[in-house]
Amino acid sequence: MYYKVIFDGSVIDALDGLQYVTQTRYSHGLIGTSDEATAMGVLSSNCSEVWHVDTMLEFYDGDYKTVRVVEISEDEYNELRDELAENGMLDDDSGIANEEPHEQEPVAKSPLLQRVEELSEQLEFLTECLLEMSEVVYE
């Protein structure tokens, strides 16, 4: 599925799928990947920005642009990608395909996304440890 991202009435990105993200209440601003049901936002096509989507839950911390995400056709997606690239609104390393989006090799995750996933895993582990320790203390 293909989507356009709209902020303040202007298209700011075109996505060839949605990468959902969320933030746990006690995460001190850390963002992690999620499913659609618990999502608070999505990642930009080059994974360098996180946006809050107007139909999703609000983030607990942080200042994120609130955008509208609209499903579009593959043809419209390709046209938008070309327009955005011409206007200098896309990075060369976006990892999004040009004319044949489904025939390119899978793109490696950006270092930012990898770090977010690592920190989310660490946070989950430390939370479990803290809960186990508190059970021992209160026994």
DSSP for 94-120, written as a single string: ----SS-TTSSPPPPPPHHHHHHHHHH
Work out the angle at residue 124's Cα, subtended by the Cα atoms of residues 120 and 130, and round it to the nearest 5 degrees: 140
Is residue 46 scored above 50 in pLDDT? yes
**Please, which residues have CB within 8 angstroms of residue 105's CB and are 6 or more apart in sequence?**
none
Total domains, the chain: 1
Q: What is the pLDDT of residue 7?
A: 94
Q: What is the pLDDT of residue 105?
A: 43
The label of the residue with tokens 């046209």 reads: 79
Helix then strand then coil, % of the chain, to nearest 5: 30, 20, 45
- For 69, the domain range is 2-137
pLDDT in tens, 68-104: 999 999 999 999 998 888 887 765 544 443 333 334 3
- The three-class DSSP label of residue 34 is coil
Instruction: Give the CA radius of gyration of the chain.
Output: 18
